[in-house]
Chains A and B, each alone.
Chain A
């Protein structure tokens, strides 16, 4: 059963702690993305990666870090430097546009992070 998994679904942390959100895909996609969604808002891009061992900052990268050591995995760390970390975090993957086909993004179920 192909898809994207994110864990956990809900995560609670105390202020000042770093927390890592998991994202795994078995779609054999090269590109992976992390978005943040606040209540009633659209999606804002945090980081993206087009290939293993390479990633770029999105529009709101401050206070976040990522790694891409394996094609299947793209974990996101929310650091204590992120001022307002409470949000819904969505991971997505897609084929790279260079392949010439559709590159719609497939989303995981998301992780709701609450920091108090």
Chain B
């Protein structure tokens, strides 16, 4: 079945350092979504990318969708302690737009 993997599983950075998580799908995706889950909380939608090669920015966060629409990345510039949490990518399951397959997630820890 469709698999969505993320690397790294975990990253610990000092505040002010940059952070990148990579998302790779076993199948081509029509779109990709990113979610953030704070410790003890629930996932919150961040953004959706649809077009091949698309790049979107939200303040210090930069999201990219690969040309082949099988991979994506999230880059955070100058991390802050408020960035702590687990970042998930998610793409529609093959053959349906109704079901999402979530990636394995990358847990980010930021210390002062």
Which positions in A face B, CB cutoff 8 Å?
A: 31, 35, 40-45, 48, 50, 58-59, 90, 92, 96-98, 102-110
Q: Are B48 and A102 neighbours in the complex by a CB distance under 8 Å?
A: yes
Chain B residues near A103: list those with CB within 8 A: 97
**Neighbour of A104 across the interface among B48, B97, B102, CB < 8 A:** B48
Q: Are A107 and B43 neighbours in the complex by a CB distance under 8 Å?
A: yes
A102 vs B34: C-alpha distance in the bound complex, in angstroms?
A: 13
Q: Is the interface of B mostly helix, strand, loop or mixed?
A: strand
When C-beta atoms are compared, the residue in chain B nearest to A96 turns out to be: B98
**Neighbour of A58 across the interface among B97, B99, B103, CB < 8 A:** B99
Taking the closest CB of chain A, its distance from the CB of B24, in whole angstroms, is 14
Which positions in B face A, CB cutoff 8 Å?
A: 1, 33, 35, 41-45, 48, 88, 92, 97-100, 102-105, 107
The A-B contact count (CB < 8 A) is 47
Taking the closest CB of chain A, its distance from the CB of B50, in whole angstroms, is 9
Which 5 residue pairs spanning A and B have beta carbons closest together?
A97-B97, A104-B45, A107-B42, A43-B102, A42-B102
A115 vs B48: C-alpha distance in the bound complex, in angstroms?
A: 36
Chain A residues near B42: list those with CB within 8 A: 90, 107-110
Most buried by B among A44, A90, A97, A109: A97
A92 vs B45: C-alpha distance in the bound complex, in angstroms?
A: 11
Most buried by B among A43, A44, A97: A43
Q: Are A31 and B98 neighbours in the complex by a CB distance under 8 Å?
A: yes
Q: Are A105 and B98 neighbours in the complex by a CB distance under 8 Å?
A: no
